[in-house]
């Protein structure tokens, strides 16, 4: 595909929607950006938006499921695109450490955002982006698409209605496998920093970020407001010479509400898609969030709860009528960013090896698996214990954020 900067792609796709629909640009059109193109394509054909630009430093990859509409311009630099196209909505699907600078440029150019997760990498960056949105009057939807799940809504409704009684714990467990090729996918893969900037491409921060965010959403339903972390404890491990975790158990103790435990790995023995476990005085609920299968107290077994609201469609609806609430506004993700802030401060993960780790497969598809890790993670999620607290031989003492300062003593009141 021969593409020059700022040129048009005309692959023979039918004419696009009317000119007065929202004009959308995608920054980061290759890699995971192809998933966004598959979402954008049908909306363009249906006339709900108009794809006006794609941005990527590399030539645009073919995506048979979402041909590029006629008239779409292609750029290698996002600033040039913003100046020449002035889109209404910008979808940002670039490496996490680039999000803040691109987002600030986009909102300054007058665009609303659909920003891939993690939105930013620290609470300081979160505040900077929030300030940029407030000063420009723009909005940002964050790419936690699982928050649009009808199954999650059914779970949080049950929690809010008291069906589980008093919630005493929230946890998630997930066991995935990632081959060597996963860590060769980009210069920032598996890195803690790149060119002096935080990257945090670990299991908690990136591939299993949805699991953490689902727990935070349930905790929000328990108390009625976003989680305010009082203390975060984390044990982080790795099976490769990377700088971030591929296996981690994190416990978040909120200022108000039940503790949250996330027990995840990319070096699992058996596949666990991702479960959110909510324990209460009246029973337990389990949501397998990638498949929308939910089990509530009294159910004979898990049942699929179909239906997901798309984040881009929701953003378009919000732009048309601000009474339509965003599913994943930036403010809702502040507790998740607080977790990333803690991970930045934590030391590098402990390297596991020797007879504890098995290698399966060859070449780029080689997978490393930690023996017994699924049982360790399941125990952590079920009992709220870190591996080091339950006697796991290879576990190390957790790192934790400093305890919050105690409130200042109130001044003694005396009568005249």
Mean pLDDT score of the chain, rounded to an integer? 92
How much is the pLDDT for 193? 86
The H-assigned helical ranges of 50-98 are 78-85
Give whole-number Cα distances, 301 to 165, 261, 382, in Å.
19, 24, 18
Q: For residue 8, what pLDDT band results from cuts at 50, 70 and 90?
A: low
pLDDT tens, 267-302? 999 999 999 999 999 999 999 999 999 999 999 999
Q: Which residue has the tokens 């009992």?
A: 383
Mean pLDDT of 70-82: 97
DSSP 369: E
pLDDT tens, 24-69? 999 999 999 999 999 999 999 999 999 999 999 999 999 999 999 9
How much is the pLDDT for 404? 66
How much is the pLDDT for 1? 33
In contact, 390 and 379? CB cutoff 8 Å: yes
Percentage, residues of the chain above pLDDT 90: 88
pLDDT tens, 29-41? 999 999 999 999 9
Mean pLDDT of 173-178: 98
Q: For residue 416, what pLDDT band results from cuts at 50, 70 and 90?
A: very low
Strand partners, 65: none
Of residues 248, 295, 249, 289, the one with CA closest to residue 272: 289
The yes-or-no verdict on residue 222 having pLDDT over 70 is yes
The yes-or-no verdict on residue 198 having pLDDT over 90 is no
- Please list, in sequence order, all residues whose beta carbon lies within 8 angstroms of the beta carbon of residue 254, skipping any fewer than 6 positions away: 219, 223, 227, 228, 229, 230, 260
pLDDT tens, 294-335? 999 999 999 999 999 999 999 999 999 999 999 999 999 999
Q: What pTM, to 2 d.p., does this model score? A: 0.90
How much is the pLDDT for 408? 59
Q: Could you tell me which residue, 415 or 395, shows the higher pLDDT?
A: 395
Give the least confident one: 93-107, 112-126, 195-209, 389-403.
195-209
Sorted by where each starts, the structural domains of the chain and their CATH numbers stand as: 7-145 (3.40.50.720), 150-306+328-391 (3.30.360.10)
Tokens for 191? Answer: 């890195």
Q: Which residue has the tokens 């337990």?
A: 284
Percentage, residues of the chain above pLDDT 70: 92
Tokens for 104? Answer: 């600030």
pLDDT tens, 241-267? 999 999 999 999 999 999 999 999 999
């Amino acid at each position: 595909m021969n593409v020059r900067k700022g040129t048009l792609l005309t692959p023979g796709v039918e004419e696009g929607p009317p000119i007065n629909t929202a004009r959308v640009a995608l920054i980061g059109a290759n890699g995971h950006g192809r998933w966004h193109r598959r979402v954008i394509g049908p909306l363009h054909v249906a006339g709900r938006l108009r794809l006006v630009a794609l941005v990527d430093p590399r030539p645009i990859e073919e995506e048979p499921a979402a041909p590029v509409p006629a008239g779409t311009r292609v750029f290698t630099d996002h600033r040039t695109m913003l100046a020449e196209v002035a889109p209404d909505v910008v979808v940002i699907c670039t490496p996490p450490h680039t999000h803040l600078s691109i987002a600030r440029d986009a909102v300054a150019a007058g665009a609303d955002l659909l920003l891939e997760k993690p939105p930013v990498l620290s609470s300081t960056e979160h505040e900077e982006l929030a300030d940029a949105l407030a000063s420009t009057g723009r909005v940002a939807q964050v790419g936690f698409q699982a928050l649009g799940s009808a199954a999650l809504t059914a779970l949080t409704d049950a929690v809010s209605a008291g069906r589980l009684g008093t919630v005493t714990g929230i946890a998630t467990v997930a066991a995935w496998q990632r081959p060597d090729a996963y860590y060769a996918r980009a210069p920032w893969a598996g890195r803690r920093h790149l060119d002096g900037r935080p990257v945090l491409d670990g299991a908690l921060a990136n591939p299993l970020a949805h699991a953490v965010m689902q727990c935070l959403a349930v905790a929000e339903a328990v108390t009625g407001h976003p989680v305010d972390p009082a203390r975060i404890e984390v044990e982080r491990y790795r099976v490769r010479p990377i700088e971030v975790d591929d296996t981690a158990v994190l416990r978040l103790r909120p200022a108000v509400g039940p503790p949250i435990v996330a027990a995840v790995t990319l070096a699992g023995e058996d596949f666990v898609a991702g479960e959110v476990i909510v324990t209460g005085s009246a029973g337990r609920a389990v949501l397998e969030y990638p498949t929308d299968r939910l089990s509530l107290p009294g159910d004979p077994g898990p049942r699929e709860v179909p239906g997901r609201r798309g984040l881009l469609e929701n953003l378009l609806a919000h732009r048309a009528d601000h009474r339509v609430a965003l599913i994943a506004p930036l403010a809702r993700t502040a507790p998740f960013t607080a977790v990333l802030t803690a991970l930045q401060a934590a030391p590098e993960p402990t390297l596991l090896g020797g007879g504890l780790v098995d290698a399966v497969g060859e070449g780029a598809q080689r997978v490393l698996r930690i023996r017994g890790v699924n049982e360790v993670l399941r125990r952590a999620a079920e009992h709220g214990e870190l591996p080091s607290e339950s006697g796991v031989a290879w576990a190390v003492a957790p790192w934790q954020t400093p305890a919050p300062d105690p409130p200042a003593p109130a001044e003694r009141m005396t009568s005249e």
